[in-house]
Amino acid sequence: MIDEVRALLPLADGVHVARMLEKDPDIVRSVTVPGEDGAAGIFAYLPLNAYGAWALMTGRYDGSRPDPAWICSAGEKPSAIAIWLIVAPGLLIRMFEPIARLFRDLCPEGCAIFSYGATDASASIQRAVGFRPAQEMFPGASAHLVAACPHNAVPIDIARTIERARRGHVHVGVARSIEDMAKVFSVRSATFQAEQACPYEEEFDGNDFCATQLLAYVGDDPAACIRIRYFGDFAKLERLAIRREYRSRSLSRPLVGAALAHCARKGIRRIYGHSRSDLVGFWQRLGFDVIPERPPFWFSDVEYVEIVAELTADPLEIRFGIDPLMAIRPEGRWDEPGPLDMSLVRSSLAA
């Protein structure tokens, strides 16, 4: 079905679609008809953040080359919704009611829905169900853009549930600031110096400011960290530390998994590391193998062995020729608008 539509309309290629789905897998829905087998169509939408809404309003939006920085992550409230694609031969009119229900759930009060009429027929139907030229509500919008403004009439108070989930939520991010680095040093000091009596000069070895540091949080509390250093054809994972009070939370798997995913996104295929001889099983459960025919070695009074993990190529890896703005976004946030993306907004407002 998509191939047939692609012959008629300029659709995004597979890599662009995969990047969008990586950020929010719910944006593409299949259309089914009760009592019939298989999908009868496809419906896709983009939950735009403020940057994406600005790109849409100022003519920088191109549905055939979508930027993940335009959209919210799954669960975030959008600033606007853009209808990306509707393919449903003979079902378009019947689809608007379920689509409207979906948008009422997605859209906070005042969130607008935007669309381009890709064909004369779809543009006519959109006008018939309440879409109006966007310029009537948003001066300066593209002349081809239409908009509608539904209202979510069923507010539900889930503040307590959200707060409980937030406090227990585990998330991993790149250390970006001096404060973040202080958190890394705090976790490692509590783990290696306080518990293992590691000398200061051995723990803080001069490599911390030429590496990527990842922090795992439980709620807002820094609970674990790991360091990545990059070499010619491999990266090295090291300094995995988990605070004692969080060791029952199984933080090692999401933290190491995030480190491996970060490396794969950068195009790195081989990950090297050193494992204490008594922790080889731990690293094997995370996908590493002991390098054969390499003898154990010692440092800091502990015996180690060399380990390696071979990564599967990431179809979304950062390659030469990427969008120039993606190349200057903050490390690990290649699918989010960065400060220099937002400079375009500032420049347009000053014009």
> Which pLDDT band, with edges at 50, 70 and 90, does 152 fall under?
very low
Range name among 148-162, 282-296, 309-323 with the lowest pLDDT average: 148-162
Range name among 133-137, 151-155, 280-284 with the lowest pLDDT average: 151-155
**CA 113 to each of CA 56, 101, 122, 246, 317: distance values in angstroms, whole numbers, following the listed order:** 11, 13, 15, 43, 31
> Which pLDDT band, with edges at 50, 70 and 90, does 122 fall under?
low
pLDDT 10s digits, 323-332: 899 999 999 9
pTM of the full predicted structure? 0.68
pLDDT 10s digits, 53-78: 888 888 888 888 889 999 998 888 88
In order of start, what are the domains of the chain with their CATH numbers?
2-148 (3.40.630), 160-310 (3.40.630.30)
Is pLDDT of 306 > 90? yes
What's the token pair of residue 96?
A: 């608007």
> Which pLDDT band, with edges at 50, 70 and 90, does 159 fall under?
very low
Q: What is the mean pLDDT of the chain?
A: 84
Let me know if 269 is exposed, middle or buried by CB neighbors in 10 A (0-12, 13-18, 19+).
Answer: middle
Q: What are the residues facing 215 on neighbouring strands?
A: 173, 225
Residue bearing tokens 């009592």: 35
Q: What are phi and psi of 147, to 5 degrees?
A: -145, 155
Better-predicted residue by pLDDT, 188 or 104: 188
Is pLDDT of 320 > 80? yes
- 277-296: average pLDDT: 96
What's the token pair of residue 147?
A: 């908009």
User: Which of 229, 213, 122 lies closest to 172, judged by CA?
Assistant: 213
Residue 77: DSSP 8-state: P
Is pLDDT of 158 > 50? no
Range name among 16-30, 190-204, 233-247 with the lowest pLDDT average: 16-30
> Which pLDDT band, with edges at 50, 70 and 90, does 160 fall under?
very low
Range name among 23-37, 161-175, 251-265 with the lowest pLDDT average: 161-175
- 138-161: average pLDDT: 59
Is pLDDT of 157 > 50? no
> Which pLDDT band, with edges at 50, 70 and 90, does 155 fall under?
very low
Residue 90: per-residue pLDDT:
66
